[in-house]
Amino acid sequence: MAEFQNAINVQRRFTQGPVFVLEVSVLPTNAVSLLECVQGKESAEHYTRVVEGLEALKCKETLKKLEEDIMKSITLSLQTKLIEIIPNIINEEVKGSPLEMECIALEDKEEARWLYTFLAFNEEMMKEAKI
């Protein structure tokens, strides 16, 4: 987990009551390093061999498509892994009892819709509870 933590930057973007939104950015690195973090050394080595083969064969379009596809795969794997490790990172930083939390990973375009829907729901629940 420590290797993975060194590859990301976590910033708090929004807080309201018990809800907070974090922005997690992947620090500049290459696809091989990220692939090794999320799918293991064997996958990273296999990808490296494939890229070397495509470069030797001068298959630029295929290489470009492979890089696009692998970055999509890495992004999905990163999101899954982040859902698992972000609560641990946060609980390491807070003192006292571990926090109970739900962690979901969203792209920027999905985040705003989720947040506004959640806040509207939360406001409605507060009205019904008369808090």
Task: Find how far residue 13's CA is from the centre of its chain.
Answer: 15
Instruction: Please state the pTM of the whole predicted model.
Output: 0.66
Exposure string of 50-83, with b = 16+ CB inside 10 Å and e = fewer, is ebeebeeeeeeeebeebeeebeebbeebbeebbe
Specify burial of residue 112 (Cβ count, 10 A radius: 0-12, 13-18, 19+): exposed
Q: What is the pLDDT of residue 55?
A: 96
Phi/psi for 99 (5° steps) reads -80, 145
Nearest to 4 by CA among 33, 44, 28: 33
- Structural domain boundaries of the chain? 2-129
Compute the distance between CA of residue 12 and CA of residue 24 in angstroms, rounded to an integer.
9
Q: What is the pLDDT of residue 4?
A: 63
Q: What is the pLDDT of residue 64?
A: 94
21-70 pLDDT, tens per residue?
888 877 777 889 888 888 889 999 999 999 999 999 999 999 999 999 99
Half-sphere exposure of 120 (CA within 13 A, CB side): 6
Compute the distance between CA of residue 16 and CA of residue 37 in angstroms, rounded to an integer.
32
CB 109 within 8 A of CB 69: no
